[in-house]
Amino acid sequence: MFEVIPAIDLLDGKCVRLKQGRYDAETIYSINPLEIAKKWESLGARRLHVVDLDGARTGIPKNIEIIKAIVREVKIPVQVGGGIRNLTLIQELLDFGVDRVILGTTAVKNPNVLSQFCEKFDDKIAVAIDAKNGKAATEGWVKISKKDILTLAQEAVEFGVRRFVYTEINRDGMLEGPNFEGIRSFVSEIAVPVIASGGISSKEDIEKLKEIGVEGAIVGKALYEGKIKLEEILY
User: Is a pLDDT exceeding 90 seen at residue 140?
Assistant: no
For residue range 49-81, list pLDDT tens digits in order: 999 999 988 889 999 999 999 999 999 999 999
128, 107 Cβ separation under 8 angstroms: yes
Give the span between the Cα atoms of 27 and 19, in whole angstroms.
9
Give the residue with greater pLDDT, 144 vs 198.
198
Residue among 66, 57, 114 at smallest CA distance from 90: 114
127 forms beta bridges with: 103, 164
User: Is a pLDDT exceeding 70 seen at residue 142?
Assistant: no
How far CA 211 is from CA of 44, 172, 215, 220, in Å, comes to: 22, 21, 10, 20
Residues above pLDDT 90, as percent of the chain = 73
Q: What contacts 168, CB < 8 A, 6 or more positions away? A: 131, 132, 178, 179, 182, 183, 198, 199
Parent domain of 31: 3-233
| Residue 232: burial class (beta carbons within 10 Å; 0-12, 13-18, 19+) | exposed
**pLDDT score for 122:** 97
Q: Where are the alpha helices (DSSP H) in the chain?
A: 33-42, 53-58, 64-73, 87-96, 105-109, 111-121, 149-158, 180-189, 203-212, 221-224, 230-233
| pLDDT tier, 175 (very low <50, low <70, confident <90, very high otherwise) | low
In a 3-state reduction of DSSP, which class is residue 19? strand
Whole-number average pLDDT of the chain: 90
For residue range 83-138, list pLDDT tens digits in order: 999 999 999 999 999 999 999 867 777 888 999 999 999 999 999 998 877 677 65
Count of domains for the chain: 1
| pLDDT tier, 146 (very low <50, low <70, confident <90, very high otherwise) | low
For residue range 25-56, list pLDDT tens digits in order: 789 999 999 999 999 999 999 999 999 999 98
Catalytic residues: 9, 130
| pLDDT tier, 141 (very low <50, low <70, confident <90, very high otherwise) | very low
CATH number of the domain that 190 lies in? 3.20.20.70
Specify the amino acid at residue 86.
Answer: N
| pLDDT, mean of residues 159-172 | 86
H, E, C per residue of 160-196? CCCCEEEEEHHHCCCCCCCCHHHHHHHHHHCCCCEEE
Residues above pLDDT 70, as percent of the chain = 92
| pLDDT tier, 143 (very low <50, low <70, confident <90, very high otherwise) | low
pTM of the predicted structure, to 2 decimals: 0.93
| Residue 38: burial class (beta carbons within 10 Å; 0-12, 13-18, 19+) | middle
